[in-house]
Structures are given as C-alpha cells and as structure tokens.
Amino acid sequence: MARWKGQTRGGTAGYLFFIYMIRYLGIGAAYGFLSLVVLYFIPFAPKATAATWRYARQTLGRNRWKSACLLLRNYYRLGQILIDKVAIGNGMVSKYHFEFEQYPRFLEVLNSGQGVIMIGAHVGNWEIGAPFFDDYGKKINIVMYDAEHQRIKELLEKSDRPYKVIPVNEDNLTHVFRITEALRQKEYVCFQGDRYLNQEKLLTCTFMGRVAAFPAGPFLLASRLKVPVVFYFAMREKGRTYRFHFAVADEAVRSRSAKPEQALLEQYVAALEGIVNRYPEQWFNYYPFWQLPQTTVSN
C-alpha cells in the first residue's frame, strides 16, 4: 500500500536556498520565486500531485477546473508556510499578524498544574505558534518521526526554537518513556494525530465522508493517562495572518459503542473536519490518506 514513509519531501539544498533568500532578499522575494517551484512540483512530484488531485475530486467533490486551482493553491500555500516558518524562526515575527480562538480556555488548561497532551495535524503551520508560548514553550515536547526530524534538524537548529523534540523510532520504545516522563513532570506533549507508520496500531473513523485510519498512540495514551487534551491548529489567512484554533476535548470515557480512545478520536476528527472544510487548500497529506491498510484496529 502506498502510504506515508515518515519523511517529508524536500532536499537540503532547497531548504538552504530559501533560508538564504529570506535572510538576504526578504520574504517577498521568496514568495515570488515560490511560483516557479510550484510549477516544478506539479509534474515532478507525481505521487503528491495525484494524492492532492484525488483529495480534490473524491473527497471535496470538486470539478476538474476547481481541482486544478486547488492543486496550485495547495502547493503555493505549503511553500508560503515553510517560508513563514523559517522567517519567524529567524526573528521576523513583527512581519506577521496573529489571531486566536479559545485562547483563554487553552491557557487555563496549561495552568492547571497537570501534564497536557496537544494533538494537531498536517494542516496549516503547526509550529508557527512557538513564539507565543513564551515560558510555556520550555515545557513543550513535540513528538516527531525520526526520519522527518533528522532531515532538516541541522538546518534549523540554529533558529530560536524554545520547544523540545521527542523523536519516534520504530525499533525501540524510548519515545514512550520520554513521553510519559514529560507528562509526569507536568509538561506538554504534542502529537500530530493524522499520520502513522505502524499499520498494526490504528484506529478508524469516518472523516470527510470516508473511512480513514489514524494512529492509535496519541489517543490511547491520552485516554489511559487521564490528562487534559487540546486539539490545536494554526491556519494561514490573507495578509500574513495566522489564526490559532484551540479546542479542549471532553474527558474520554468508555461507552457501549466505543472505547475511550475511540471516543477521543471522534472528537479530534470532528475538530479536524471543521478545519479542513474551512481551509481546504491547507491539507498537506501527500499520500492516499483514505486508502485503508489491511490490518486496522477500531472500536
């Protein structure tokens, strides 16, 4: 089955090129050059292009013309978000605007004196909120697949990155102990809830009208450890504006129809579906997301 391999597309030379362009020519120049990169990626990233085309046609129900337009906007928006991430990481926060939804409730959870699990997705620009966590950022641990982490680690480690990274390696369970220890220390652990590597540890749920598989780990941990859970998305809007969406999950309890982890997943999927419907061009899963593996675990 074609699925995500735990690694984001993009070469070292490409990342370096945009880093130096932003530093010496400015953000606007990087956006301008991005148009050429978009035209390159459409034919030369056929699997990603095909996945986005299927998403537009089958999931969103767009016609061919609207699907082509969404494909262009999707690649361009992804490039903008990567540029913004580098720019803000290099101290250019003042060039952007930020809006917040449910922020007081989110801070209330962070100040509750407990460990907190935050679950996001590969939509928008998840890491863009790091500068706004201030002292909270020192307690943030982002769980990241090791292949993805190592690929650009050397390029971005000089940036002002307040959070810590917990790399996931399929060959051992070190990350599990680090996650539980961080929560025991009343820190915050952040997951992306929409990608998986282990096909034997999955949950399924109807998402955007079709059944899809999600990693069981974040939802199982959150339901077993009884810590507060927040769904968090940072979405790009016009005028270099980012809007932060926070949704505090209800306590996950077992019912006749679902285990606690399944109940939590359904809350997450409802929140994610609302975001994707509002920002359809910011869906950045470039593989057959709705193609189920042979082995799945559900309620």
Query: How many Å apart are CA 30 and CA 33, to the nearest integer?
Result: 5
Buried residues in 209-236 as b, exposed as e (16+ CB within 10 A): eeebbbbbbbbbbbbebebbbbbbbbbb
Residues 6+ apart with CB under 8 A from 108: none
- Residue 299: the pLDDT is 52
**H-helix or E-strand spanning residue 33:** helix 27-44
Spatial distance between the Cα atoms of 145 and 121, rounded to a whole number of angstroms: 14
Give the HSE-up count for residue 259: Cα atoms under 13 Å, Cβ half-sphere. Answer: 15
The pLDDT, as a whole number, for residue 2 is: 44
For the chain, strand residue ranges (E) read 97-101, 116-120, 140-145, 164-168, 188-192, 202-207, 210-215, 229-237, 241-248
Closest alpha carbon to 219 in 299, 273, 278, 276: 299
- Per the listing, tokens 């990567």 go with 82
Instruction: Spell out the long-range contacts of 271-276 with Cβ–Cβ below 8 A and sequence spacing 24 or more.
Output: 271/231, 271/233, 271/245, 271/247, 272/121, 272/123, 272/193, 272/194, 272/207, 272/231, 272/233, 273/207, 273/208, 275/121, 275/123, 275/124, 275/233, 275/235, 275/245, 276/123, 276/208
Rounded Cα distance, 182 and 164, in Å: 10
pTM over 0.85: yes
pLDDT given for residue 41 in this prediction? 85
Q: Give 10-residue mean pLDDT values along the chain (299 residues).
A: 46 70 88 89 92 96 97 95 86 90 91 93 86 76 68 52 74 81 93 85 95 94 91 95 94 79 96 98 95 66
- The b-or-e profile of 47-84 (16+ CB within 10 A means b, else e) is ebbebbbbbbeebbebeeeebeebbeebbbbbbbbbbb
Name the token pair of 47: 């699997």
Residue 200 corresponds to which tokens in the numbers above? 């034997």
CA 234 – CA 216 distance, rounded (Å): 23
**Alpha-carbon gap, residue 293 to 49, rounded angstroms:** 21
C-alpha 120: how far from chain center? 5
